[in-house]
Amino acid sequence: MLRLSTLALALFIFWYIVFSIRRKSLKERYVAVWIPIGLIAVVIAVFPVSIRFAAKVFGFQVASNLLLLMAVVFLTIIVFQLTAAISRLETKLERVVVEIALMKDKIDNDS
């Protein structure tokens, strides 16, 4: 039962990622992070033994520790990506606001 529900959850996450890409609500550059996450979730749900095996290989005593570490790493990458994206947006916004101010000034004064 647990396996079925985790599988359902993983499939739902994967479907939602694909759905968002198709609906264009996710830009290409962010897809690169989310597709691997969706795939890994499905793989782990179908073959729970894979995470136990990986934990053993890397020397984790408990498999869930590996999962938590992966979660932290992924989330850090995503947050960093978002901060970088916001910085880019701020720069672009500044350009737009300056340009609008100058255009408005031109309209008001050059008539």
Q: Is 101 in the site for another protein (CB under 8 A)?
A: yes
What's the min distance (Å) between Cβ of 85 and another protein? 18
Of 56, 88, 92, 104, the one binding another protein (CB under 8 A) is: 104
CA distance to 27, 28, 76, 87, 111, per residue, from 93 (Å): 18, 21, 25, 10, 27
> Which residues, in sequence order, are CB contacts of 18 under 8 Å at separation 6+?
38
Window 56 to 95, contacts with another protein (CB under 8 A):
94
Binding mask 8-27 toward another protein (x if CB under 8 A, else -) reads: --------------------
Q: Is 102 in the site for another protein (CB under 8 A)?
A: yes
Q: Is 109 in the site for another protein (CB under 8 A)?
A: yes
DSSP line for 25-80:
-S-HHHHHHHHHHHHHHHHHHH-HHHHHHHHHHHT-SSHHHHHHHHHHHHHHHHHH
Q: Which residues bind another protein (CB under 8 A)?
A: 94, 97-98, 100-102, 104-105, 109
